[in-house]
Structure 1
Amino acid sequence: MDLAELVRAVGGHEQYAAALASILGLTDVLDLPLITDEMLQELDEKLPDPEQRLAPIPRRKLDLVREYLTRTDLEADSEVLSSPHRFPLDHIERRHYQQLIGMANWLVTMGRLDIHHAVTTLARYASEPNHGHMDRALRLFGYLKKFPMKGIVMDPTPPTFENFEDEYKPDPDDLLLYGEVEEEIDEGLPTPSTLGDAELQITAVVDANHAHDRVTRRSITSYVIFIGSSPIMWTCKRQSVVSTSTYESEFRALRHATESIIFLRYLLRSLGVAVNSPTRVLTDNMSAMMSSTLRKTHISAKHAALSYHRVRESIAAGIITVEHIDGNNNFADLGTKSHPVHRHHELVDMVMV
């Protein structure tokens, strides 16, 4: 624990911070307890010079300080949050929690995809939060305070991936089931204004976390879509039905990404941007990647088969290609689960600066 951190957290008042650390017996960040009225009174008496005494800092603000100083990772695991052994918040605290989640959702929309999984998990409990949920919401804002300048960069060059495996080349006969299908292109769209043969590469990375939700056992879908090397669209959400296998949840995630890609390709063409090449879709699930092109694969469940055929038909139409990426380099994993601090920052650094 660096006393300078505590000084900054309480507004730069060094004596106030030193007295607070002394009263609390602060030797390590994790030892900092909840602030009580008795501590505030002792703090006021400990400052020897009356002129140095400050107006008492509200306990709520000091609790925020405590959260900022203790932990700044984004732990928001559903197993922890779904625990019933927590006291519920009162109506004022609940409103405060909902405001925090609303602000965090706005930040995700504005480009902070590094907090998307935490916000999505916490938002599920917005109607009836408890103190455990508030604890992690405050921790989330502690993370934002510690890393306020994270952002995305507009880069038109195609993305590069380490340990990338070449696209699996399917036999054209494997997709004959869908006939001579083609991508639907509106004839009324403007002529592309891109000079020469230049075309912006669209790439999507997709991942799913099977049975992520500890209450309903629904899986979670995460994908990030790039134009060039710039993240343009991203999502992190629970799937609408329970998947009985990892394979099924991964295919459902592929279908969600495919539908967003179709929308994005239409939008870009509407803006006069040339979109001719198939969009690369990268997944770390080899079974889903292989099954998207092999005719012998059969899925009997209707809801799973719809995702399966939606993806395969899009491949046959030349809208997407499905490729494999090493799981260690799949930064869509950022939206599927909580990670240890070092792994979280490793993934964030792949897509943000």
Structure 2
Amino acid sequence: MKYVLDLLEKAGLLECKPASTPMEANIDLWRDDTSLLDDAVTRPDITFAVGVVSRFMHKPREVHWTAALEILAYVKSYPGKGLLYKKHGHTHISTFSDVGYAGNMGDRKSTSGFCTFIGSNLITWRSKKQDIVSRSSAETEYRAMAHTACEMVWLRKFMTELGLVQPGPMPMHCDNQSVIYIAQNPVFHERTKHIEVDCNFIRDAWEKKIVSLIFTSSSQQLADILTKTTSSKVFSTICDKLGMINIYAPV
């Protein structure tokens, strides 16, 4: 909380109006008709917003500064918000993998995101713009799933070294049924040459029962706030499911 208040004071926003989300839905930060700024200036709930704004640090404009102030206005609403770790009686690994397809209006690159749970506690998360432009959502999904699977394999090895062996395959939740179907059916090989490495990596992990691919509806996709902006209602619901609470909220 002290860090948040110090940050707000440094930005001159201690008296600003609080915001319910760190970034407005459908905001356009790729406009170049606003003035350039003179000076270019971790929490899972602000990871995506901070990542997007950071892409313009080399040439920030007023619209980007306004977006950065919106993040601070959101943090002011919940200065004591953070992850609460509880005992759930198990240490099973599970993940949610998602993609914001072609969400970057400047170059139409997609944003990958995943969140990893151990014992139902959020342990790691990532939001990153992909390096290349993809012509299909399946390509972006497989690229994101491959990164997620790598994280799962690393965590499984780490947990094993601690003497906590994972029982059975680790569930990976994805909201794209066609991608899951292709991963489980090698007959689509000719149609997926452009994503052959990522596709085969996921298929190999599935066949060896390292991961299990589970379809999750978009409304239950917890990695959504790592790949795109959402409404305040959806945003709040996902934060609750990620295990985030405001420790200074009145009981």
Normalised-by-shorter TM-score class: 0.7 to 0.9
Note if 1:315 corresponds to 2:206: yes
Q: What's the offset of the Cα at 1:79? A: 5.7
Measure the CA separation in 1 of the matches of 2:194 and 2:111: 16
Q: 1:75 aligns with which of 11, 14, 23?
A: 23
Q: What residue is the counterpart of 2:83 in the other structure?
A: 152
Q: What residue is the counterpart of 1:132 in the other structure?
A: 63
In structure 1, give the amino acid aligned to 2:227.
T
Q: What residue is the counterpart of 1:281 in the other structure?
A: 172
In structure 2, give the amino acid aligned to 1:73.
T
Q: What's the offset of the Cα at 1:206? A: 0.9
Q: When you count strand as a share of all residues, which structure comes out higher?
A: 2
Q: 2:140 aligns with which of 241, 249, 265?
A: 249
Q: Report the secondary structure of 1:125's partner residue.
A: coil
Q: 2:237 aligns with which of 332, 346, 349?
A: 346
Measure the CA separation in 2 of the matches of 1:271 and 1:78: 44
Note if 1:333 corresponds to 2:224: yes
Note if 1:142 corresponds to 2:73: yes
TM-score, scaled relative to structure 2: 0.86
Measure the CA separation in 2 of the matches of 1:240 and 1:305: 17
Q: What's the offset of the Cα at 1:203? A: 0.5
The answer as to whether partners of 2:173 and 2:216 remain within 8 angstroms in 1 is: yes
Q: Report the secondary structure of 1:145's partner residue.
A: helix
Measure the CA separation in 2 of the matches of 1:77 and 1:84: 19
Q: Report the secondary structure of 2:195's partner residue.
A: helix
Identity %: 25
Q: Report the secondary structure of 1:81's partner residue.
A: coil
Measure the CA separation in 2 of the matches of 1:321 and 1:270: 22
In structure 2, give the amino acid aligned to 1:127.
H
Q: Report the secondary structure of 2:165's partner residue.
A: coil
TM-score, scaled relative to structure 1: 0.62
4+ residue stretches of structure 1 with deviation over 4 A? Answer: 76-79, 299-303
Q: How many residues align?
A: 236
Q: Which is worse superposed, 340-349 or 223-232?
A: 340-349
- CA distance 1:328–1:131, change in 2 (3 Å): same
Matched ranges for 1:137-216 at <5 A: 137-157=68-88, 200-216=91-107
Q: Which has the larger radius of gyration?
A: 1
The answer as to whether partners of 1:76 and 1:121 remain within 8 angstroms in 2 is: no
The answer as to whether partners of 2:18 and 2:74 remain within 8 angstroms in 1 is: no
Q: Report the secondary structure of 1:148's partner residue.
A: coil
Q: What's the offset of the Cα at 1:156? A: 4.2
Q: When you count helix as a share of all residues, which structure comes out higher?
A: 1
Measure the CA separation in 1 of the matches of 2:100 and 2:87: 30
The answer as to whether partners of 1:210 and 1:249 remain within 8 angstroms in 2 is: yes
Q: What's the offset of the Cα at 1:218? A: 0.8
**Superimposed CA distance per residue, residues 57-86 of structure 1 (whole angstroms, 9 cap, x where no aligned partner):** x9x72xx256x3164532266861110011
Q: 1:237 aligns with which of 98, 109, 128?
A: 128
Q: Report the secondary structure of 2:83's partner residue.
A: coil
Q: Report the secondary structure of 2:225's partner residue.
A: helix
